[in-house]
């Protein structure tokens, strides 16, 4: 199958209307999108990603009004959605009958969000159905943050790649639910806990799966993994790197700039590190390093979500 990379929203819309797969840019990561109301198209998404059907998909739409057709969004999350959407927030809420259980892996809850990217919002304007869109990477691998990342691994699997440049945020959306008035975070992501708490003016709780038999394998201990072995260290000082090994630094380092020192953000900016983390993990494989060393980042803002991805990527 010949893949076309382009910026043509109408072409993308036409493929989706025919039940085909289109990679779409979002502010978080690229998604592998298909018509969420077309069972064959949904099945094709699982197949293209080599993703088990017990790992549910996020539904993407472009208005809160439409979102409420598919999910019964509780009060506090409605407030949060009004403040954040379009943005890196995914709401987990009771699904309506319009959502095929295939999308939710049989759960009564559906995950739904409005992504914030001008091309994808324009695309959603041109179609009259929502999109399922998991990250556009093979199951278990690092999420794509550019059209080239998608093309490198998925070009035979998609019909069109809508090129929206490099993803602004660079980490997947934060997944949140509300139960009895309490808010629970199911996946740390591109919307920080601090920001959520400042909007709703109360504390949220972490409900993140950390075992090997999760309800949601996005939360598997081992995920987001490059082929290069990644090891978390407390300090780089004692390392004796050979030429096949790399360091992933953050901020000022005592190392000279050289091929095997990659930096998430030379100025030590957490948001910049979020923006770069997945590209840097891919770079390890592209440069065929056998091993890389990394230190966890400060646990503030998006640092929490970055550290979550680093730990999963490092899990053997």
Burial per residue of 73-100, b for 16 or more beta-carbon CB atoms within 10 angstroms, e otherwise: bbebbbebbeebbbbbbbbbbebeeebb
87 lies in the site for ligand TXA, by CB under 6 A: no
Q: Does 135 bind Mg ion (CB under 5 A)?
A: yes
Segment interacting with Mg ion, rule: CB under 5 A, options 40-48, 133-141, 151-159, 177-185: 133-141
3-class DSSP state for residue 95? strand
- H/E segment holding residue 64: helix 64-70
Q: Which of 36, 44, 131, 175 binds ligand TXA (CB under 6 A)?
A: 175
User: Is the Cα dihedral 314, 138, 85, 100 positive or negative?
Assistant: negative
User: Based on CB atoms, which residue is closest to Mg ion, 41 or 111?
Assistant: 111
User: Which of 13, 25, 26, 294 touches ligand TXA (CB under 6 A)?
Assistant: 26
Q: Report the residue from 216, 270, 274, 313 that binds ligand TXA according to the rule CB under 6 A.
A: 216
Length in residues, the chain: 316
Which of 9, 89, 109, 306 touches ligand TXA by CB under 6 A? 109
- To ligand TXA, the closest distance from the beta carbon of 282 in angstroms equals 16
**Rounded-to-integer distance, Cα 148 and Cα 153, Å:** 9
Shortest distance in whole angstroms from residue 151 CB to Mg ion:
17
Total binding residues toward ligand TXA, as defined by CB under 6 A:
27
> Can you tell me which of 164, 218, 226, 303 binds ligand TXA, judged by CB under 6 A?
218
Select from 236, 235, 306 the least CA-distant residue to 270.
306
């Amino acid at each position: 199958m010949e893949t076309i990379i382009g910026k043509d929203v109408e072409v993308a819309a036409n493929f989706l209307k025919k039940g085909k797969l289109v990679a779409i840019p979002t502010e978080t990561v690229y998604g592998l999108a298909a018509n969420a109301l077309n069972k064959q198209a949904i099945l094709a998404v699982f197949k293209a990603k080599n993703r088990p059907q017990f790992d549910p998909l996020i539904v993407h739409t472009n208005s809160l009004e439409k979102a409420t057709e598919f999910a019964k969004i509780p009060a506090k999350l409605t407030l949060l959605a009004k403040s954040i959407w379009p943005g890196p927030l995914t709401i987990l809420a009771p699904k309506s009958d319009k959502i095929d259980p295939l999308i939710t892996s049989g759960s009564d809850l559906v995950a739904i969000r409005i992504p914030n990217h001008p091309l994808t919002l324009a695309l959603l304007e041109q179609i009259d159905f929502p999109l399922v869109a998991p990250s556009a990477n093979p199951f278990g691998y690092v999420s794509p943050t550019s059209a080239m990342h998608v093309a490198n691994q998925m070009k035979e699997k998609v019909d069109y790649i809508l090129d929206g440049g490099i993803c602004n945020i660079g980490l997947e959306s934060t997944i949140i639910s509300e139960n009895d008035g309490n808010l629970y975070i199911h996946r740390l992501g591109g919307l920080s806990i601090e920001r959520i708490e400042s909007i709703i003016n109360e504390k949220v709780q972490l409900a993140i799966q950390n075992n090997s038999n999760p309800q949601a394998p996005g939360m598997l201990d081992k995920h987001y993994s490059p082929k290069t072995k990644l090891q978390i260290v407390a300090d780089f000082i004692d390392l004796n790197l050979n030429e096949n090994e790399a360091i992933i630094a953050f901020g000022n380092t005592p190392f000279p700039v050289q091929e095997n020192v990659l930096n998430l953000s030379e100025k030590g900016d957490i948001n910049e590190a979020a923006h770069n983390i997945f590209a840097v993990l891919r770079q390890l494989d592209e440069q065929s390093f056998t091993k890389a060393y990394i230190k966890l980042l400060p646990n503030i803002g998006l640092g929490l979500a970055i550290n979550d991805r680093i730990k999963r990527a490092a899990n053997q």
